[in-house]
Amino acid sequence: MTEDDIYRTSTQYRLWSFTPEALASLRATTNATAADGVKAAFRTLKLDSEDRYGENASGAEVDCLSIEEEQKIISYYCLQTLIFVDFCEYPTNVKATAVQYLKRFYLTNSPMTYHPKEIMPTAVYLAMKSEDNFHYVKSFAEKLPNVTTEDILAPEFLLTQGLRFTFDVRHPYHGLEGGFMELLALANGKGESPGAMQEDMLDLDPLHGTSVKATDIKELVARCQRAHGKAKELLKTSALLTDAYFLYTPSQIWLSTLLLVDEPLARFYLDTKIPSTSDMKPKLFTVLRQCAEMLRSAPAAQPDKDEKKELKRIDKKLAQCRNPQKLDLVGINRAQKRDPEMSGGDGLDEKVAKKRKLEREQSMKESEDLFGPALAVKRD
Q: Which of 236, 290, 300 is nearest to 99 (CA)?
A: 236
Amino acid at residue number 73? I
> How many whole angstroms separate alpha carbon 165 and alpha carbon 16?
12
pLDDT digits (tens, 9 = 90+) for 266-307: 999 999 999 888 899 999 999 999 999 999 998 877 888 899
Burial tier of 18 (Cβ tally within 10 Å: 0-12, 13-18, 19+): middle
> How many whole angstroms separate alpha carbon 190 and alpha carbon 370?
67
pLDDT digits (tens, 9 = 90+) for 31-85: 999 999 999 988 888 776 665 544 444 445 889 999 999 999 999 999 999 999 9
From first CA to last CA, the distance across the chain in angstroms is 56
3-class DSSP assignment, residue 183:
helix
pTM of the model: 0.83
How does the average pLDDT of the chain come out, rounded? 86
pLDDT digits (tens, 9 = 90+) for 45-57: 877 666 554 444 4
Cα–Cα distance list, 106 to 31, 98, 159, 331 (Å): 10, 13, 10, 22
The 10 Å CB-count burial string (b at 16+, else e) for 303-333 is beeeeeebbeebbebbeebbbeebeebeebb
Strands (E), the chain: none
Q: Do 78 and 241 contact (CB within 8 A), yes or no?
A: yes
pLDDT over 80 at 340, yes or no:
no
The band of 374, judged by pLDDT with boundaries at 50, 70 and 90, is low
pLDDT digits (tens, 9 = 90+) for 210-231: 666 777 889 899 999 999 999 9
pLDDT digits (tens, 9 = 90+) for 99-108: 999 999 999 9
Q: What is the DSSP string of 42-83?
A: HHHHHHHHHHHHSSPPP-PPP-PPPHHHHHHHHHHHHHHHHH
Cα–Cα distance list, 150 to 73, 141, 264, 361 (Å): 24, 9, 52, 26
The 10 Å CB-count burial string (b at 16+, else e) for 356-376 is eeeeeeeeeeeeeeeeeeeee
pLDDT over 90 at 333, yes or no:
no
Q: Which residues contact 206 (CB under 8 A, 6 or more apart)?
A: 212, 213, 264
> How many whole angstroms separate alpha carbon 344 and alpha carbon 239?
45
What DSSP character marks residue 374? P
- What ranges in 90-193 are assigned the alpha helix state H? 92-108, 116-130, 137-141, 149-153, 156-162, 173-187
Cα–Cα distance list, 39 to 36, 109, 223, 361 (Å): 5, 16, 57, 45
Minimum mean pLDDT among 119-133, 208-222, 333-347: which range? 333-347
Backbone angles phi, psi at 56, to 5 degrees: -70, 125
pLDDT digits (tens, 9 = 90+) for 156-178: 999 999 999 999 999 999 999 99
> How many whole angstroms separate alpha carbon 318 and alpha carbon 312?
10
Amino acid at residue number 221? V
